[in-house]
């Protein structure tokens, strides 16, 4: 039977869990967290309450809660994949386990808002469920006691929601959801609950009287006043000293995501490998794209003076390095003017890497094959750039379907009236000075963003020549996209390079003029019908500039002319001079002043005199010394320790010397391999142990010698008379004889091993 006070306590616990669960809102964005979070709260709390009403034990109630977790979790946490939206299936059951185990790591490694994998809502569901089960179990099954036990009971019940509140802060983001209000309410409810119950538990099992009720009300009012005053003062102080949102410490800032695109080679740096080494190899096939359209591999917006790469700002959704795990449907970019959507099928052949080929901006992605479900967990998508990465690597035979939405670009007349978008892009490092001056020269008197960019493109196309550095090209062309290569391209005459250099030069010039620009590596679809093979010769690169309200408009600054004139260089003519005999030297130079070349033979002769130790001899000698040290240094240490032990036992009064002789016998036997049992109390018992275990241990013991020796030692130690020095020396001599006999009976190997043993007994 659940009493009214316990029902009130369950309600208080539910309120604390609900306030803590609101911290999931910034992680999921919007109200999508509400159903799994509050659903888990109801399932956990209701299961414990049901078990208590049925008068079940705590273990049975927990079993009921676990069953309810799996039975109702499909509808509350994974309705999109549940059967008919509510019934569990194998996929939802697997997701309920995966979300509980891996959801915590996904929460700090995936880009917010958390939308995929499908089991990601299970994190909020499981967290609220587990917290509610713990708090409700404590409230319903922990007996109510008077005094400190009551305070401990409520404090432990409130600890679980407090842990959830802290977890949502650590696993969350720099953004907060009613943080101040939630903190004040949580603290007020927890403090009032703990203190109020500890004050009233004294009369929990006794009939209430009017005097007791009045006293309880006075205590409650006084306590509430104090708590409210503390909360108000704390809120006012916190509003002044609280850190800025950007200074919040969250786990995602300290934990490296499992997929960091900067760990892989720069995509554009492999351009020459495609166009030269894989010219005729089929990288992948495309079905559904119109001839002349473009396939996208990777998008880069950061240049470090050496290569292009994705930006390091992976914590936001705008950078090219922001990849997140998504489901079948992919959201459109924020800056995007959607055009027609086309279904496309791609099959991988000789292409490899982590960048998955796609077209334009994919809004749907579905892998095919038996490993599709497993591979889908390794997909990372950057919706702003239309780039897809497969962290496990792209392998031959992989097939997948895409829903590709094209960018709707206005005509030049309409686009001329559109300004460049206000998009934050990473700064460019080590840009040569010639880039800025050339950009101003190429831009001319352009008055619009489109005209300026078109002037840059036309200047590069008209003045430049195309060369991939092949042997068949009219002029050589060095690969690279670094600062030195860009400076060479813009200063040499004629201007020679390929897409790797021209798109870099265009991007740097556009960036110097203040335009948001990025570089794309992809391929151009040949003019063929049906399933079209894409070879290395089809790989290309282009630039994209952001226009307000439109999106990232492509520009192609690479020229198509290949007949570049060879650069003419005039070499100075060398006129041979007649040889003139030089007069003899008046003062011959000393042999010590001759150059090393002139004294080469003499040095060889000098090196033949005297004995020189070869280098191998030093190595051999050093190795031998090291081996000797390993063998003999431990022997020396053991020998010194034994000498010290014997000297200590062999000095002092004669009774102590006699006892020391027997102790030396026990130590010697132990070092030879005849151990002393811990249960032996007297020397007579030890003698019987040595004689009975001698044959088993392989250590020979002289029969009939140890017994008299033990009695002599006992007499010397326990008799009232003083033992003569000669008798003590005789005991030591007999002990040495027994040990020598035992040692001689061992094999050579056991004797050598015993030399390394030291016993303290």
User: For the segment 262-287, what is each residue's pLDDT rounded down to a tens digit?
Assistant: 778 889 999 999 999 999 999 999 99
- Among 23-37, 331-345, 493-507, 637-651, name the one with the lowest average pLDDT: 23-37
Percentage of the chain lying above the pLDDT 90 cut: 28
Residue 258 has pLDDT above 90, yes or no: no
Q: How far apart are CA 651 and CA 647, in angstroms?
A: 6
Q: Residue 13 is inside which H or E element, if any? A: helix 4-21
Q: How far apart are CA 742 and CA 735, in angstroms?
A: 11
pLDDT tens, 722-731?
A: 778 888 888 8
Q: Which residue has the higher pLDDT, 334 or 495?
A: 495
pLDDT tens, 697-706?
A: 888 888 888 8
Using omega within 30 degrees of 0 as the cis cutoff, is the peptide bond preceding 469 cis?
no
343, two tokens? 């279904």
Neighbours of 131 (CB within 10 A): 27
Letter string b/e over residues 361-390, b meaning 16 or more CB atoms within 10 A of that residue's CB: bbbbbebeeeeeeebbbbbbbbbbbbbbbb
Q: Which residue has the higher pLDDT, 389 or 314?
A: 389
Residue 343 has pLDDT above 70, yes or no: yes
pLDDT of residue 199: 43
Q: What is the mean pLDDT of the chain?
A: 80
Average pLDDT over residues 161-184: 75
Contact 680, 689 (CB under 8 A): yes
Q: Where are the beta strands (DSSP E) in 293-452?
A: 294-300, 302-303, 308-309, 338-348, 353-356, 358-359, 361-367, 379-382, 387-394, 399-407
Residue 293 has pLDDT above 50, yes or no: yes
Residue 175 has pLDDT above 60, yes or no: yes
256, two tokens? 């490296």
Average pLDDT over residues 63-73: 91
Q: How confident is the model at residue 630 (pLDDT cuts 50, 70, 90)?
A: confident
pLDDT of residue 598: 42
Q: How confident is the model at residue 479 (pLDDT cuts 50, 70, 90)?
A: very high
Average pLDDT over residues 188-192: 77
Q: Which residue has the higher pLDDT, 369 or 230?
A: 369
DSSP-assigned letters across all residues of 77-141: H-TTTSBTTTB--HHHHHHHHHHHHHHHHHHHHSPSSP--STTTTHHHHHHHHHHHHHHHHHHHH
Q: Hey, which residues does 597 pair with through a beta bridge? A: none
Q: How far apart are CA 267 and CA 261, in angstroms?
A: 10
Q: How confident is the model at residue 145 (pLDDT cuts 50, 70, 90)?
A: low
Q: How confident is the model at residue 240 (pLDDT cuts 50, 70, 90)?
A: very low
Residue 96 has pLDDT above 60, yes or no: yes
Q: How confident is the model at residue 257 (pLDDT cuts 50, 70, 90)?
A: low
Task: Give me the sheet containing 387-394, strands edge to edge.
Answer: 353-356, 387-394, 379-382
């Amino acid at each position: 039977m659940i009493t009214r006070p316990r029902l009130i306590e369950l309600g208080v616990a539910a309120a604390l869990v609900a306030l803590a669960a609101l911290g999931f809102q910034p992680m999921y964005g919007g109200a999508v967290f509400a159903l799994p979070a509050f659903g888990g709260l109801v399932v956990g709390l209701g299961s414990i309450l049901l078990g208590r009403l049925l008068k079940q034990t705590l273990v049975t109630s927990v079993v009921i809660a676990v069953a309810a977790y799996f039975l109702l979790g499909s509808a509350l946490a994974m309705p999109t994949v549940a059967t008919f939206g509510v019934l569990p299936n194998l996929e939802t059951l697997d997701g309920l386990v995966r979300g509980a185990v891996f959801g915590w790591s996904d929460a700090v490694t995936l880009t917010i808002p958390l939308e995929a994998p499908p089991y990601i809502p299970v994190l909020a569901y499981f967290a609220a469920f587990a917290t509610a089960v713990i708090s409700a179990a404590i409230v319903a099954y922990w007996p109510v006691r008077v005094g400190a036990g009551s305070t401990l009971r409520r404090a432990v019940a409130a600890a679980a929601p407090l842990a959830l509140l802290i977890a949502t802060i650590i696993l969350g983001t720099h953004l907060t959801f009613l943080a101040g209000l939630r903190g004040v309410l949580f603290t007020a409810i927890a403090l009032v609950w703990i203190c109020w119950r500890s004050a009233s538990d004294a009369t929990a099992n006794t009939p209430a009287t009017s005097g007791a009720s009045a006293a309880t009300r006075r205590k409650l009012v006084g306590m509430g006043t104090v708590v409210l005053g503390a909360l108000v003062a704390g809120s006012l102080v916190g509003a002044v000293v609280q850190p800025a949102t950007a200074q919040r410490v969250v786990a995602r800032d300290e934990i490296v995501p499992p997929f960091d695109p900067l760990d892989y080679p720069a995509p554009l740096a492999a351009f020459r490998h495609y166009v030269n080494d894989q010219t005729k190899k089929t990288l992948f096939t495309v079905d559904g794209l119109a001839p002349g359209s473009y396939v996208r591999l990777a998008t880069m917006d950061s240049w470090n003076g050496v290569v292009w790469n994705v930006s390091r700002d992976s914590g936001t959704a705008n950078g090219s390095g922001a990849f997140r795990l998504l489901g079948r449907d992919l959201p459109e970019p924020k800056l995007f003017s959607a055009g027609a959507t086309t279904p496309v099928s791609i099959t991988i052949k000789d292409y490899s890497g982590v960048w998955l080929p796609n077209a334009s901006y994919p809004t749907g992605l579905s892998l095919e094959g038996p490993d599709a479900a497993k591979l889908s967990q390794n997909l990372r998508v950057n919706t702003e750039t239309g780039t897809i990465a497969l962290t496990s690597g792209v392998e031959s035979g992989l097939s997948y379907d895409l829903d590709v939405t094209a960018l709707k670009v206005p005509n030049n007349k309409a686009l001329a009236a559109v300004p460049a978008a206000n998009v934050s892009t990473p700064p460019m490092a080590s840009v040569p000075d010639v880039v800025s001056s050339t950009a101003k020269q190429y831009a001319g008197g352009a008055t619009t963003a489109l005209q300026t960019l078109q002037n840059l493109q036309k200047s590069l196309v008209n003045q430049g020549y195309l060369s991939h550095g092949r042997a068949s090209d009219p002029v050589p062309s060095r690969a690279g996209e670094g600062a030195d290569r860009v400076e060479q391209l813009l200063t040499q005459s004629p201007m020679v390079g390929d897409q790797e250099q021209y798109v870099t030069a265009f991007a740097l010039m556009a960036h110097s003029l203040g335009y948001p620009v990025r570089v794309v590596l992809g391929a151009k679809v040949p003019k063929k019908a049906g399933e079209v093979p894409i070879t290395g010769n089809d790989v290309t690169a282009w630039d994209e500039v952001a226009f307000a309200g439109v999106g990232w408009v492509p520009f192609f600054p690479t020229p198509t002319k290949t007949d570049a004139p060879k650069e003419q260089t005039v070499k100075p003519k060398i006129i041979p001079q007649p040889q003139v005999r030089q007069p003899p030297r008046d003062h011959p130079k000393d042999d010590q002043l001759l150059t090393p070349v002139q004294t080469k033979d003499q040095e060889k002769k000098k090196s033949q005199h005297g004995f020189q130790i070869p280098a191998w001899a030093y190595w051999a000698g050093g190795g031998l010394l090291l081996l000797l040290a390993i063998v003999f240094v431990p022997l020396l240490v053991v020998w010194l320790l034994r000498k010290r032990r014997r000297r200590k036992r062999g000095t002092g009064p004669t009774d102590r010397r006699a006892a020391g002789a027997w102790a030396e016998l026990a130590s010697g036997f132990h070092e030879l391999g005849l151990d002393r049992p811990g249960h032996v109390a007297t020397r007579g018992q030890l003698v019987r142990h040595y004689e009975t275990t001698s044959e088993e241990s392989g250590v020979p013991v002289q029969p009939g010698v140890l017994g008299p020796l033990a009695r002599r030692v006992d007499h010397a130690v326990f008799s009232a008379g003083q033992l003569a020095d000669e008798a003590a020396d005789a005991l030591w001599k007999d002990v040495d004889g027994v040990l020598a006999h035992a040692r001689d009976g061992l094999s050579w190997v056991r004797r050598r091993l015993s030399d390394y043993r030291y016993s303290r007994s």
